[in-house]
């Protein structure tokens, strides 16, 4: 829509300019005014899309802050669980996952689409691949906890931490790159 606004604006300005100097003695006022109207429609579209873009940028910034907090909380809880190692309460892991991680993981997943306009599709894929892998391992740890398989719980939590730590590192790097790009602009 913004591109269309630019095209209409410049087409209107250029056409009006062309028709105003094509025949100096007699300007075709209908064509001249029509060209100006096309340009004004382009300006109106640009103004409308600027407000939409500003609102979208605000939503993206909020989503990115939500994602950073959620991923940090998930990694922190996983670090605590992994630190307990073999001494962990195997049946209590599922409760910790439900109580301390489930909402954060859902918040991250719900806001994930904002990474595409903020970081690009490649960065989105890199972060989400690791996040999805970590989420699957957390789900496996939950199931193993419900069944009482200590070795499986410990292994899945450790591997999930690796995946989610990597996702957080990439997310933080892309977020930092975005902030630097915005400062330079």
Q: What would the DSSP string read from start to end of 90-149?
A: TTTHHHHIIIIIHHHHHHHHHHGGGHHHHH-HHHHHHHHHHHHHHHHHHHHHHHHHHHT-
- Residue 166 vs residues 41, 80, 145, 159, 161: alpha-carbon distances, Å: 48, 17, 24, 11, 8
**What's the rounded mean pLDDT across residues 140-166?**
97
Residue 50's pLDDT band (cuts 50, 70, 90):
low
- Residue 127 vs residues 34, 69, 102, 133, 143: alpha-carbon distances, Å: 50, 15, 18, 10, 25
User: CATH number of the domain at 56-184, please?
Assistant: 1.20.120.660
Say how far residue 30 (Cα) sits from the centre of its chain: 47
What are 84-107's pLDDT values in tens digits?
Answer: 999 999 999 999 999 999 999 999
Residue 185's pLDDT band (cuts 50, 70, 90):
low
- At residue 137, does pLDDT exceed 80? yes
**Tokens representing 156?**
């899945």
- At residue 58, does pLDDT exceed 90? no
pLDDT cut 70: percent of the chain above it: 82
Residue 1's pLDDT band (cuts 50, 70, 90):
low
pLDDT cut 90: percent of the chain above it: 59
What are 33-48's pLDDT values in tens digits?
Answer: 787 787 778 777 767 7
Q: Where are the domains of the chain?
A: 56-184
- For 89, which DSSP code? -
- At residue 54, does pLDDT exceed 60? no
d(CA 154, CA 160): 10
């Amino acid at each position: 829509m913004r591109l269309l606004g630019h095209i209409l604006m410049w087409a209107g300005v250029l056409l009006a300019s062309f028709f105003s100097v094509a025949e100096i003695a007699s300007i075709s006022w209908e064509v001249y005014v029509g060209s100006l109207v096309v340009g004004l429609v382009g300006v109106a579209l640009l103004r409308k899309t600027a407000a939409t873009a500003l609102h979208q940028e605000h939503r993206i910034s909020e989503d990115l802050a939500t994602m950073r907090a959620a991923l940090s909380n998930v990694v922190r809880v996983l670090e605590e669980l992994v630190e307990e190692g073999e001494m962990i309460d195997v049946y209590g892991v599922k409760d910790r996952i439900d109580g301390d991680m489930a909402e954060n993981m859902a918040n991250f997943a719900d806001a994930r689409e904002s990474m595409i306009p903020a970081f690009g599709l490649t960065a989105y894929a890199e972060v989400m691949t690791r996040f999805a892998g970590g989420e699957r391992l957390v789900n496996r740890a939950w199931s193993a906890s419900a069944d009482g398989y200590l070795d499986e719980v410990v292994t899945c939590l450790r591997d999930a931490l690796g995946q989610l730590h990597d996702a957080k590192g990439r997310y933080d790097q892309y977020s930092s790159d975005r902030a630097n790009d915005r400062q330079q602009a």
